[in-house]
Structure 1
Amino acid sequence: MATNRLVANLLIHELIEQSAAAYKDRVAFIEGNDRYSFQEIDQLSLRLAKHFLQLGLKKGDAISVQLPNSFEFVVAHLAAARIGLIFNPLSPNYRKQELSYMLAHCESKAFITMESWKGFNYEKLAFELQDQLKDLQHIIVAGENKDDRSIQLSSLLDSEPESVSEQDVHDNLPTSEDPCLILFTSGTESNPKAVLHTFQTFVPCHLQNGKEYQVTDKDTILCLTPLCHMFSLPMIIIGLKFGAKHFLYKHYHPDEIIDLLRKEHVSFLIAAPAHLIDLLRQCENKNVSGLNLRFILTGGTKIPAKMVQDLRAILKCDVGAQWGMSEICAGTFTRPGEEASLAWETVGRAAPVGEVKILDDAQKPLPTGEIGEIAFKGDSLFIEYYKNPLATEHSFTKDGYFLTGDQGWLDEKGYLHFVGRTKDTINRGGLKYHASEIEEALQMHPKINQVAIVSVPDPRLGERGCAFVSLRDDEQIDLEEIKEYLLEKGFAKYKLPEHLVIKDKLPTTPSGKISKGMVRKEALTIHKQ
């Protein structure tokens, strides 16, 4: 579990400078037709950091950023890290209710957003937030701004600040123990908590993981998942460390992914299962020859076995399964070159800086093969839930293991078999099964786009299963068809859903997971009808 000494105390500003010296004018990031070299990343992130100082921001202040996957997101993250600002990435899906809570909780001094995106006016919302948040001093806009009060991010990148010296930058350099990052939990069950990481808990572990992913300067990385989430955010520093190109993809369009993979010679793809199911459906209609893919990394929810098998067969590449969360970073994952079946039977073995135990209800370790709560300990573990000491205290065992709320079991080789969230167990008249079993199967149904299985209270059996689904374009389905499909897959009758709710779209968290808390609330109304 020891951290590699070569990266143990490496800070992001040092990483940027080292990569600029090593890779110079090679391309580091690509967005559309724009290319940014490693040297340009060094220069622009330093320039922006100086502008942050000129605005009065200093080490220890929080800066919130609500942007899609873009160069502006990357340079803001790196600039903040250079002067010890606490970076708080936020999903573009958030609106006033979520943002007012999160920015107030972080006491954010600056907010970087955009004028508008996908038909929504973010700049207008930013000033509504500023009117009610006493700490929020600066609104910075990526792209064109419409409000004269906001600061254009491009103007800060175009010129050097006049009144900031190298000494000012040096005075704000962070240490490895300084706070680096605040990520809000996805809030699938309740109000999100603020996960605080230091540079020490965020940087070395991910550089170690990058080595395990076998990233090199021959790679081109593409993240289909949001950079504001822990699954993709580390790819920024991993690419810098190993000299890889990183293609920044802002607008997700399923029908163009294969062409994009081919055009940009993408070799390392990070994607959620929903993206990969879309990709497989595109493979049915498009020629997939000429791709450069060597490794696909997926996770975030139960990973359908058939999806992994089909990806390997059609795209001729390794597929890795990863389990993690904001609090622990990447907890376990399969490595390139490992036995193929591990990626659909397990979610891998522990990351280099961590260890996993399976605990019973009394927090006692369970033997190999027995299902219990997954507990994690290691150098990538978060410091605390910011401003929430009670939640922090209740989330750890006496010997320092984080209680994840996930269920799973370990095999004899130390590979983790993920079962699902503890709250997703459905007890139908004493016969228990896990919702993820059914969700995994229905994810692969050709008519279904999204699926969530939750329990509905029942006066006789205690609970029955309810399937919430959204459908693909112009499709129709009923409960009997779903039951027949599951029976054909070999499921026992007691595991079949007994209620069906069809929605245009299921609510999701920023990372793309179904927001089970919201779905459960709606499921309760079925019982009352």
Structure 2
Amino acid sequence: MNNKMPSTVQEVLHHAVARYGKKTAIIDGERTLSFEEVNERSLRLAERLSGLGLQKGDIVAVQLPNSWEFAVTHLALARLGIVMVPVNLMYRQKELSFMFSFAHVKAVVTIDRWRGFNHAEMMESLQQIVPTLDYIIVVGERKGPRQYSFQTLLNDSGLSLADREGENPFPSPDDPMLIMFTSGTESDPKAVVHTYRTFIPAHLHNGQEYGLTADDVMLCLTPMGHMFSLPMILMGLYSGATQVMLSQFSVERVLDAFSQHGVTFCVAAPAHLIDMLKGTDETKEYPSKLRLVLTGGTKIPVWMVKSFRQRFCCDVAAQWGMTEIGAGSFTRPNDAAHLASDTVGRACPTGEICIFDENHQLLPNGKVGEIGFRGQSLFKGYYKNETATRQSMTEDGFFLTGDLGWKDDDGYIHYVSRKKDIINRGGLKVHAAEIEEALLMHPHIRQAAVIGIPDERLGERGCAIVSLKEGTTFSLEEMQQYLLEIGMAKYKLPEYLKISNELPTTASGKVSKGVLRKQYEQLEVK
């Protein structure tokens, strides 16, 4: 790219304050913060954290909902060169004890209670297990006697607010900025290391491709702690857009935000969009200022794209990526409408995508193989796992993603499935994503996943696991008949059906296939 982007958070904030100053940067419920106030609060929190003894190179976990506190914490840590570990709000002691111990987490910023669960209390119990965990900083009113109040730290006037950012040691572009644990949908999670240089400039370029400007109002429905939404904080600050924080998803809350704040740009998982379609009336119009919805994380149903575009009068962009690479490809706002459902777009402006065979040889356009990525946003490696890092790369620097797809002559990537998401039924290959997309079109189904169940004769048979809309039913016979009626080949039909109240999901809204495989590996055939 010709135009040079900032590669530190300090540069992004200085740019934002100089250009947008008193304009509203964040709306969180009744609270609004200007660009100047976001800068000042993040600087103040950085000062307080430094006063506690936290310093460059320390590792701090953050377990917060989408909120102004999350954004300010993210910026404050980055200003100091402290490595942030964002963690899913649904994680409990089992997951966190592994992550905190593995990464030698020194402090955690968490919420006091969330949806009935006492996070502050859990963190206190983790201090007995994780010897490096010295500080617990709590957002909210209820904290333990040995914990620090986030609000008190911000309000404390005992430290100078002088801008010390000309002094050392402040972070350089190649210092580590983030350790992000992968979703672990297929196996135990790995810890991905991003530097300021791999995380910031490429995502700011992506923001320009999305068409973000100071006229935009952004809303992220996926968690800020996930790679899909985390870059949006810096994108919004750099472009001058206003960001609306929504701590919990519901169709009503999203519609209220659309109308109350004039949201123009929304980041959402397909599951969110499907819920919105099934929770609104197809005979009504829902007027809004929405211009673009960015979605991805899993195969995007054709019907969903068409229906959402029609009901909300906006463009829908498809994006493909992962923790290791950020947004690897996406459709642009001026792309033909069908490309958002047929493809996952073209490579991001600072990246390159090629398709490889099983011997890591390049495949021609139109041939299905493993998607490989290299570019500015490529991670530095897996934390404390050089072997996994080395095994994931080709000799010429492409990261092998584990996703299958093909590239057309115009450079658009057609996603097929995960490599491990193919059911081998007697030598016939069945892509689970194709069946899942069809099942999600059924009016009774909320969530759907298809996995392979070991079978002595055929190798594997398909098993569909679904959650249903309230008050509905669904049987194996209904499912098979429905799939046949829409033209599905008989050999692709799942031969088992399991109904679940709720399917386990990752932070980005993807169903956790690894969890389901473990749960149903001993499925009894009846």
Shorter-chain TM band? over 0.9
Q: How does 1:64-463 map to 2 (within 5 A)?
A: 64-162=61-159, 166-167=163-164, 170-284=167-281, 287-463=284-460
Deviates more, 1:401-410 or 1:153-162: 153-162
User: What are the superposed Cα offsets for residues 276-298 of structure 1, whole Å, 9 maximum, x if unpaired?
Assistant: 01111233178544300000000
**Any conservation in 1 of the 2:143–2:149 contact (CA below 8 Å)?**
no
Report % sequence identity.
Answer: 50
* Secondary structure, aligned partner of 1:171: coil
Q: CA-atom RMSD, angstroms?
A: 1.5
Q: CA deviation at 1:255?
A: 3.1
* Secondary structure, aligned partner of 1:170: coil
Please, which of 31, 34, 54 is the counterpart of residue 31 of structure 2?
34
CA distance in 2, matches of 1:173, 1:167: 9
2:4 is aligned to 6
Please, which of 506, 509, 512 is the counterpart of residue 509 of structure 2?
512
Deviates more, 1:404-413 or 1:128-137: 128-137
CA distance in 2, matches of 1:289, 1:505: 28
Going from structure 1 to structure 2, the CA distance change for 1:295 and 1:391 (only over 3 Å counts) comes to: same
Q: Which amino acid aligns with 1:253?
A: S
Deviates more, 1:375-384 or 1:486-495: 486-495
Going from structure 1 to structure 2, the CA distance change for 1:512 and 1:524 (only over 3 Å counts) comes to: same
Q: Which amino acid aligns with 1:217?
A: A
User: What are the superposed Cα offsets for residues 21-60 of structure 1, whole Å, 9 maximum, x if unpaired?
Assistant: 1111110001001100000001000000000110101111
* Secondary structure, aligned partner of 1:132: coil
Going from structure 1 to structure 2, the CA distance change for 1:144 and 1:230 (only over 3 Å counts) comes to: same
CA distance in 1, matches of 2:164, 2:318: 45
Q: Which TM-score applies when normalising by structure 2?
A: 0.97
User: What are the superposed Cα offsets for residues 166-204 of structure 1, whole Å, 9 maximum, x if unpaired?
Assistant: 448722311100111111000112111100000000000
Q: Which amino acid aligns with 2:38?
A: I
2:16 is aligned to 19
Q: How does 1:48-63 map to 2 (within 5 A)?
A: 48-63=45-60
Q: Which amino acid aligns with 2:174?
A: E
User: What are the superposed Cα offsets for residues 429-451 of structure 1, whole Å, 9 maximum, x if unpaired?
Assistant: 12112000001111121111111
Q: CA deviation at 1:259?
A: 2.6
Deviates more, 1:227-236 or 1:310-319: 310-319
1:473 is aligned to 470
Q: CA deviation at 1:104?
A: 1.4
**Any conservation in 2 of the 1:47–1:161 contact (CA below 8 Å)?**
no
Going from structure 1 to structure 2, the CA distance change for 1:221 and 1:524 (only over 3 Å counts) comes to: same
CA distance in 1, matches of 2:69, 2:99: 21
**Any conservation in 1 of the 2:275–2:446 contact (CA below 8 Å)?**
no
Unaligned residue ranges in structure 1 (runs of 5+): none
Unaligned residue ranges in structure 2 (runs of 5+): none
CA distance in 2, matches of 1:42, 1:290: 34
Going from structure 1 to structure 2, the CA distance change for 1:4 and 1:232 (only over 3 Å counts) comes to: farther
CA distance in 2, matches of 1:167, 1:261: 39
CA distance in 2, matches of 1:161, 1:98: 37
**Any conservation in 1 of the 2:331–2:345 contact (CA below 8 Å)?**
yes
Q: Which runs of 4+ in 1 moved over 6 A?
A: none
Q: CA deviation at 1:165?
A: 6.0
CA distance in 2, matches of 1:508, 1:35: 31
How many residue pairs were aligned? Answer: 526
Going from structure 1 to structure 2, the CA distance change for 1:285 and 1:372 (only over 3 Å counts) comes to: closer
* Secondary structure, aligned partner of 1:507: coil
Q: Does 1:487 align with 2:484?
A: yes
Going from structure 1 to structure 2, the CA distance change for 1:476 and 1:10 (only over 3 Å counts) comes to: same
Going from structure 1 to structure 2, the CA distance change for 1:28 and 1:164 (only over 3 Å counts) comes to: closer
Q: Which amino acid aligns with 2:206?
A: N
Q: CA deviation at 1:146?
A: 3.1
**Any conservation in 2 of the 1:50–1:161 contact (CA below 8 Å)?**
no
Deviates more, 1:143-152 or 1:73-82: 143-152
Q: CA deviation at 1:376?
A: 0.6
Q: Which amino acid aligns with 2:460?
A: E
Q: Which amino acid aligns with 1:452?
A: A
Q: Which amino acid aligns with 2:239?
A: F
* Secondary structure, aligned partner of 2:471: coil
**Any conservation in 2 of the 1:31–1:247 contact (CA below 8 Å)?**
yes
**Any conservation in 1 of the 2:123–2:136 contact (CA below 8 Å)?**
yes
CA distance in 2, matches of 1:280, 1:151: 42
Q: CA deviation at 1:108?
A: 1.4
* Secondary structure, aligned partner of 2:355: strand
